[in-house]
Amino acid sequence: MTAVPITSAPVVYKPSDYRSDLKPIWCPGCGDFGVLAAIQQALAAAQINPKDLAVVSGIGCSSRLPGFLQTYGLHTVHGRALPAAIGLKTARPDLTVMAVGGDGDFFSIGLGHLPHAARRDLDITVVVMDNAIYGLTKGQTSPTSPRGHVTKSTPYGQSAQPLHPLAIVLASGASFVARGFSSQPKQLAELIKAGLAHRGFAFIHVLSPCVTFYDTYKLYKELVYNLPDTHDPSDLDAAMHYAVESERLPLGIFYRRPPLEPLPRPTPKPFDTQAYLNRFRA
Amino acid sequence: MIQKEDVVIRVAGESGDGSSATGEMLAQAAARSGLHVFTFRTTPAEIKGGPVMFQVRASNSPVRSMGDAVDVLFAFNREAWDLHHADMAPNAVLLYDPEEFDLPAEFTGIAYPAPIGQIAQAAGNRRGKNVAALGVVAALFGLGLNKLEDIVRAKLGKKADLLESNLAALRAGIEYAHQLAKRDPFWMESTGEHDRYVMTGNQAIVAGALHAGVEFFAGYPITPASDIMEGMAAMLPQIGGGYLQAEDEIASIMACIGASYGGKRAMTATSGPGLSLMSEAIGYASMTEIPVVIVDAQRGGPSTGLPTKMEQSDLNIALHGGHGDSPRIVLAPASVAECFHLTVWAFNLAEQYQTPVIVLSDYSLSFRTETVEPFDLSKYPRIDRLRPNGELAAKQYRRYELTANLVSPMVAPGVAYAQYTATGLEHNEFGNPDYTPANHAIMTEKRWGKLAPLQHSREYVRRFGAERAKVGLICWGTTAGPCRGAVYLAGQEDLPVAMLQVQMLSPLPVDAINEFLEQVEIVLVPEVNFQGQFAKLLQAELGIKVRSMTKYTGMPFSRLEILRQIHALHGLAEPVLA
């Protein structure tokens, strides 16, 4: 991430400066509107120059988000936002890189990439909009849907249990783990801002309901609560305890530790082809 | 009668018994002494145990294939004899270890016992058996006899304690051979010193990528491509590049696409199973017009197949793998030198045309050691992707602008006013999603049309043999080696044969191929796969009838096999090799 001071910079970019001219394709009332607004708020708070930001996504309703931002975007194939973001960040450490998408992208088809992204601990801010349903394909069950969930693809009820995304990333070594709710955009913007400021892998799980195929607004409003002030985000055990909680849904920063220090590497020198080829002289 | 100008020595044994090391050191010594060498090896797919063989073909003339039959077989054990004696030429020599097995009664040719374990033991260390074998074989047949100590020193480098006993074993091996009464005609000695490289195909691909300015590599271990990744892992941090061992091949190519979107020259290397996994991402790179280089070191398939054998059976997936109409460039080197050459051009073409480029190597080429003439580096310019010219106005940047040659200016993030989203959805000139019928037609034509000029290129074909001939060979990849050998042997018999090696399989250089078709009556297409994938491609693209010649044993063609078919097409008797 570019070294932009978070608090003392003069305000050059307003939240609206990060919006593109494209009209979101989301249904009216979709939670993703709140997430988009919170991302814009967080970017403006961090005063990140839109030209130095790249937002990478996969496939799904929420993965269309990069197109709605006036920043660089890479709208990839289903499930593959994280490896593309890792390649981009490795090649261009000067850029601020975000990866965004939904529960299908990050917890189903692309789940295999998530622990590896977490354990690499690169400076990437991940925002997963979890609606516990496949919206773009019109209403099939997802890996975070509850057991017994009746959908078009599970007419007799989903037999599997939902997975715990935050527990997966915690177990994999993520250095920043948080959860927000699209209906609480102010708190969500704060969490994303903190994720952007974090120099390692920042994972922000967002409850972002689908009004059309699985309307959980009422349910989530009943279940969510803020992590207590007494919670110590450096306490991995405590973070894990909250991460597997399913009766209620805690919000806030679950876990935060300093990112990994890079290992020593040789001092780069320009490549000299002839010198290299001389190794192979007969 | 065709006169041989080379010698083929095969050292065979059990994985771990040192036989492969003997062959490797022999090849190195021969190359260092100034001979042209061409090696071929087979290894078991298992970690430990199983039969192995390492073959060295050496000559004072350039060698381009593994050779026809074995002139000297060094059998470290009975199984090596059982497996390889059928490949011996009629007058071939057998070397065998009498501690391991008795001279087989059915063998009536010239045989020399070589108790290499005993020789090494007497010299101080039984484990110097492979070095004793090296001494025996070099003293009997030449091949870099004067370079052996250098090679052993280089091999043992840091293990000074082993060096003395190994050098003693080497000298004992040489001495033992000198006491034998030499009764065979095989002797191959360099006629001069030369400045050449000794490299494998994988090493040449790494060198080519580095020369081309690779800035990012991501890969996943797979035989026979892993040492391309290892070469990159060692070198990229030294030159400030990015490197990643990814969690799978999908992640590998997606990371490359991310890096290339970021403006860096990116490459991955894999084999068939990995290429299968990359198919969707290759379509994405094609759609978003993001340059990326993918090396596929082919091995026997389908599925896990034959991980340690060669095959040319990934042509179809390289050309067509993935859904939708997704253009890409496909190149195929035939030799170690071409691995360097075409890897450099793979990067340049990827950048110039903003498209994925697949380089089809194969197992035999990955691990083959060849002598290579030094590259003229001035002939390898660096071509970069087109970037916008001058200052940009806000919201005016058209990433997929329909320019005259259909290649559009591509920015990397960090440029003001040029922010755009690269999407795999069909998109308009600005990169915004647009599924209207007219737009899809225009953009499909753009993606294919920008590559169309390559069909008229003459840069990616090589023409050998007679100007006009009854039989013309059209081939690709490593089969070009034995094809050139067959053309050479036919020339010795005053039998004119024409040959066209196609280095670019997509887009197919149709002008050059059509011109060749005018010069021959019968087109013979040898390739190492069951379906005749290239023959079918030629028939489909050019509307012609060709004769497909396929081999699907996991082994490359020999030049004699191809010459035999050429003879048959001429109604001639079987060729006979002196």
The token duo for B418 is 């040029």
DSSP A228-277: PTT--TT-HHHHHHHHT--SSEEEEEEEE-PPPPPPP-PPP----HHHHH
**DSSP bridge partners of B471:** B497, B522
What proportion of chain B, given as a percentage, has pLDDT over 70? 99
pLDDT of A171 > 70? The answer is yes
- Considering only the beta carbons, identify the residue of A71, A80, A268 that sits closest to B238: A268
- Looking up tokens 């305000």 gives A11
- Cβ atoms of residues A117 and A201 within 8 Å: yes
pLDDT category at A5 given cuts 50, 70, 90 is very low
- Considering only the beta carbons, identify the residue of A77, A90, A282 that sits closest to B371: A282
Give the CB-side neighbour count of residue B170, counting CA atoms within 13 A. Answer: 23
Amino acid symbol at B297? A
A268 contacts B237? CB cut-off 8 A: yes
A116 contacts B251? CB cut-off 8 A: yes
pLDDT category at A3 given cuts 50, 70, 90 is very low
A77 touches chain B (CB under 8 A): yes
pLDDT category at B578 given cuts 50, 70, 90 is low
- Residue A1: what pLDDT? 40
Average pLDDT over residues B391-411: 94
A189-193, A252-256, B27-31: least confident range: B27-31
Average pLDDT over residues B546-574: 97
B395 touches chain A (CB under 8 A): yes
Domains, in order of start, for chain A: 15-280 (3.40.50.970)
**For the CA atoms of chain B, what is the radius of gyration?**
26
What proportion of chain B, given as a percentage, has pLDDT over 90? 90
**Going by C-beta distance under 8 Å and a sequence separation of 6 or more, which residues neighbour residue A135?**
A60, A61, A102, A210, A212, A213
Question: Cα separation of B513 and B517, whole Å?
Answer: 6
Which chain B residues are closer than 8 Å to A263 by Cβ? none
Crossing angle of helices B19-33 and B148-156, rounded to 10°: 130
Question: Cα separation of B386 and B383, whole Å?
Answer: 9
Domains, in order of start, for chain B: 6-179 (3.40.920.10), 198-379 (3.40.50.970), 386-450 (no CATH), 458-569 (3.40.50.920)
CA distance B181 to chain A (A): 32
The token duo for A5 is 């001071």
- Looking up tokens 């354990």 gives A119
B259 contacts A92? CB cut-off 8 A: yes
Q: Give the mean pLDDT of chain A.
A: 95
- Considering only the beta carbons, identify the residue of B243, B247, B375 that sits closest to A112: B247
**DSSP bridge partners of B266:** B216
- Cβ atoms of residues A124 and B297 within 8 Å: no
Question: Cα separation of B366 and B526, whole Å?
Answer: 20
pLDDT of A122 > 70? The answer is yes
B247 contacts A84? CB cut-off 8 A: no
B259 touches chain A (CB under 8 A): yes
pLDDT of B46 > 90? The answer is no
- Cβ atoms of residues B244 and B318 within 8 Å: no
Tell me which H or E stretch contains B276. helix B272-288
B198 contacts A92? CB cut-off 8 A: no
Interface-testing mutation among A57, A64, A273, with chain B (most B C-beta atoms within 10 A)? A273
A180 touches chain B (CB under 8 A): no
- Residue A10: what pLDDT? 66
Instruction: State the complex-level ipTM.
Output: 0.96
Which chain B residues are closer than 8 Å to A56 by Cβ? 258
B31 contacts A112? CB cut-off 8 A: no
From the list B433, B366, B440, the residue with the least C-alpha distance to B199 is B366
Question: Cα separation of A83 and B257, whole Å?
Answer: 9
- SS3 category, A151: strand
Cβ-based contacts under 8 A for chains A and B: 175
pLDDT category at A4 given cuts 50, 70, 90 is very low
Which chain B residues are closer than 8 Å to A88 by Cβ? 258-259, 261-262, 413
Question: Cα separation of A121 and A63, whole Å?
Answer: 22
- SS3 category, A216: coil
From the list B456, B440, B450, the residue with the least C-alpha distance to B410 is B450
Q: Give the mean pLDDT of chain B.
A: 95
CA distance A270 to chain B (A): 6
B255 touches chain A (CB under 8 A): yes
pLDDT of B103 > 80? The answer is yes
- Residue B193: what pLDDT? 79
